[in-house]
Amino acid sequence: MNYRMLIYLLGIITIIEAALMAFPALVALIYGESAAPFLITMAIMLLLSLPIVIFKPQNKRIYAKEGFITAAASWLLLSCFGALPFVLSGAIPNYIDALFETVSGFTTTGASILTEIESLPRGILFWRSFTHWVGGMGVLVFMLAILPADNGRAMHLLRAEVPGPTKDKIVPKMRQTALILYGIYMALTIALFIALLCTKMPLYDSLVNAFATAGTGGFSVKNASIGAYQNPAAEWVIASFMLLFGVNFNIYFLLLIKRFGDVLKNEELRVYLVLCAIATALVTFNTLSYFPTVGDTVRSAFFQVTTLLSTAGFATANYDLWPSFSKTILLLVMVIGSCAGSTAGGLKISRVIIAVKNMFRSVKKTIRPRSVNVVRMDGEPVPDATLHATASYISIYFALIVVVTLLISLDGFSIETNLAATLATINNVGPGLGAVGPAGNYAAFSPLSKIVLTLTMLIGRLEIMPMLILFSPATWRKG
């Protein structure tokens, strides 16, 4: 293993995070608050990382294993340093709680231990929402966009961080791919910010809500989330953009280069939009008696479906009080999630499509053993390696759900709360049902459960393998 290169990359990541903290420090100064928590953290990070990156390693090659380890270690390091401003400012005095909140931010989960949000300093709340935007596209993708790197090294890093069963370059050069992805990401974020301003949402609120929506994270600066604004226009805007950020970003690139035919035949996109439409319709009909008008019902249903399908985790209503049928639908879309290559979490639409098609192929093979059945996506055969990887991922995914649910059940909460908390964290959604529903939070969990759920958020964001590889003894064994 190329340890020198691994440490060098971690040093680069630390410097990038230190630079990003300049933004909340500036916001704190603008609002007459102390920027000391951010400046102290930045100084610590620079003192630790600059000596590491001054001398570049001669051997810059990394392979798949190093790519996974770099991704997992980077996210752990980002979170550990990112929690310091919360502790130093006194906003979250307990480091475990601060780490939980920070990991929830970077992984775009949106699960919170905070019971009171609006009284916190503006700079701290900006950093809290900004972590969503940073984590949405991925800090390693950002690093690849701003730093030159050979395609071999870059591809391993991209594969380890970008969510979904397939991670392909959209142009031959890896750096150009990262630049295009971030360009699209920034353009959509700016469009959302302007749209929110047009709904007469305050400037600061528009900015932080744009960050949280773009990263499909869901941290709000209001105790009642987006529902606090009582602004139907803003709800429609945020719901629409949550849906847009759940789309594979390759689709936007295809639109830019006018390959409309490839967009139309994209199976994952079609299923994603149809699933959203059907779920919204079913929830609307099931909750008609809960709202004064049909328009209010449709808006609320669409918002809650998109916020959980995109794993953003915002709320405009306490859906925990809705009928069981609607809650079941919301739980299902939470698990399925959005498209691969988006900022959203969940199993991913493409992975579910592949799993279902492979299931039907197995049934046909059992009935007619000599028949030849090929699983196809967008008209192209799916390699056996992808089929096996999908099956393995889903198996590990459900095994982790069982283990995490058992561990946090030691706290004595209901089965509904424990299962919902596990699903909400592993799918990077945030709010679930029961005590962790849209009207609740994770504050009551024990320190052990918070650590378990913190790791679960990281495992979910990095799609299991990087974290398992990082903590596997075999990874560090010589030979």
Percent over 70 (pLDDT), the chain:
92
pLDDT class of 365 with cuts at 50, 70, 90 = confident
- The encoded tokens of residue 367 equal 């009935």
**CA dist 100 to 143, 254, 403, Å?**
24, 37, 19
**pLDDT of 21 over the 80 cut:** yes
Of 202, 182, 78, give the one whose Cα is nearest residue 131: 78
Q: Which helix (H) or strand (E) holds 274?
A: helix 267-286
pLDDT class of 164 with cuts at 50, 70, 90 = low
Q: Which helix (H) or strand (E) holds 377?
A: strand 376-377
Cβ distance 320 to 439 under 8 Å? yes
**pLDDT of 140 over the 70 cut:** no
Instruction: Spell out the long-range contacts of 200-206 with Cβ–Cβ below 8 A and sequence spacing 24 or more.
Output: 200/231, 200/233, 201/229, 201/231, 201/234, 204/122, 204/126, 205/229
**CA dist 416 to 343, 406, 412, 458, Å?**
27, 12, 11, 22
The pTM of this model reads 0.93
pLDDT of residue 144: 65
pLDDT of residue 369: 85
- The encoded tokens of residue 170 equal 């959209």
pLDDT of residue 410: 96
pLDDT digits (tens, 9 = 90+) for 67-107: 788 888 999 999 999 999 999 999 999 999 999 999 999 99
- What is the average pLDDT score of the chain? 90
Cβ distance 126 to 23 under 8 Å? yes
pLDDT class of 141 with cuts at 50, 70, 90 = confident
pLDDT of residue 457: 96
**CA dist 479 to 60, 303, 470, 474, 475, Å?**
21, 52, 17, 10, 10
pLDDT digits (tens, 9 = 90+) for 371-428: 788 899 988 898 888 899 899 999 999 999 999 999 999 999 999 999 999 999 999 9
